């Protein structure tokens, strides 16, 4: 846990609530031990969608649609989202949840490798979520960075928690200590270095959910 228990409870007590469908999704995540982004991070995705007036969102790694569902809550009625997932069962579940919510018309369900699916879309995207294989995060950013307008935001999950150890990453960023032989951790470190080194973008890491980085195109 990287936030104190009090801080986590505070975020939960003041943060957004699940609707009935999201509560069912969270139940599935609990049963399956599936890593959804959670309500605090979900609320931030909703806010980003509303702030950018997002009409086009792309996700790398959608699972059964929990994060995409949050995005749509903040997007205008003509906004559309691309869900990508190479686990067909997860994507089928996403389609079922979206059908129940009457959101199917606003979603593109892409079964297969997100790194290939991205080539089928031209953008521009208002918000992009990177939440698939950590070792492919930097490649995902490079694949979309020309498809963003000024003001678009790229969000990446698991900067502080998940298949990574925050203490090891801290030692790497603070003192240059070697990272363990772990491809997720190398992937996250590479991602942070890539987005910070790319001109025309500004990046901030926020301790919400499992730790999100927000990378905004500024020129």
> What residues make contact with ligand SAM under the rule CB under 6 A?
35-37, 61-63, 66-67, 84-87, 90, 113-115, 131-133
Nearer to ligand SAM, 50 or 115 (CB): 115
CB of 219 to ligand SAM, least distance (A): 28
- Burial code (b: 16+ CB inside 10 Å, e: under 16) for 105-137 equals ebbebbeeebbebbeebebebbbbbbbbbbbbb
CB of 177 to ligand SAM, least distance (A): 27
Tell me the backbone φ, ψ of residue 6, rounded to 5 degrees. Answer: -65, -45
Place of tokens 């925050």: 166
Nearer to ligand SAM, 73 or 84 (CB): 84
Nearer to ligand SAM, 80 or 171 (CB): 80
CB of 44 to ligand SAM, least distance (A): 12
Q: What angle do CA 116, 208, 80 make, to 5 degrees?
A: 40
CA diameter of the chain: 50
CB of 174 to ligand SAM, least distance (A): 27
Nearer to ligand SAM, 35 or 171 (CB): 35
CB of 95 to ligand SAM, least distance (A): 14
Q: Output the residue with the shortest Cβ distance to ligand SAM.
A: 61
The DSSP string of 62-103 is: -TTSHHHHHHHHHS-TT-EEEEEES-HHHHHHHHHHHHHHT-
78 contact partners, CB below 8 Å, separation of at least 6: 55
Nearer to ligand SAM, 56 or 84 (CB): 84
């Amino acid at each position: 846990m990287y936030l104190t228990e009090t801080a986590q409870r505070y975020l939960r007590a003041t943060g957004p609530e699940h609707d009935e469908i999201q509560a069912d999704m969270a139940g599935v995540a609990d049963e399956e031990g599936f890593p959804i982004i959670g309500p605090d991070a979900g609320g931030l995705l909703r806010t980003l969608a509303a702030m950018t007036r997002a009409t086009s969102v792309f996700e790398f790694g959608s699972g059964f649609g929990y994060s995409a569902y949050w995005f749509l809550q903040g997007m205008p009625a003509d906004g559309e989202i691309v869900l990508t997932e190479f686990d067909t069962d997860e994507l089928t579940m996403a389609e079922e949840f979206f059908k129940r919510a009457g959101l199917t018309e606003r979603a593109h369900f892409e079964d297969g490798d997100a790194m290939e699916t991205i080539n089928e879309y031209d953008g521009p995207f208002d918000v992009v979520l990177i939440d698939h294989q950590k070792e492919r995060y930097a490649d995902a950013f490079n694949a979309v960075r020309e498809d963003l307008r000024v003001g678009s935001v790229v969000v990446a999950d698991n900067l502080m928690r998940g298949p990574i150890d925050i203490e090891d990453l801290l030692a790497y960023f603070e003192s240059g200590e070697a990272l363990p032989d772990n491809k997720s951790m190398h992937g996250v470190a590479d991602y942070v270095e890539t987005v910070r080194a790319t001109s025309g973008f500004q990046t901030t890491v926020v301790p919400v959910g499992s730790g999100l980085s927000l990378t905004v195109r500024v020129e």
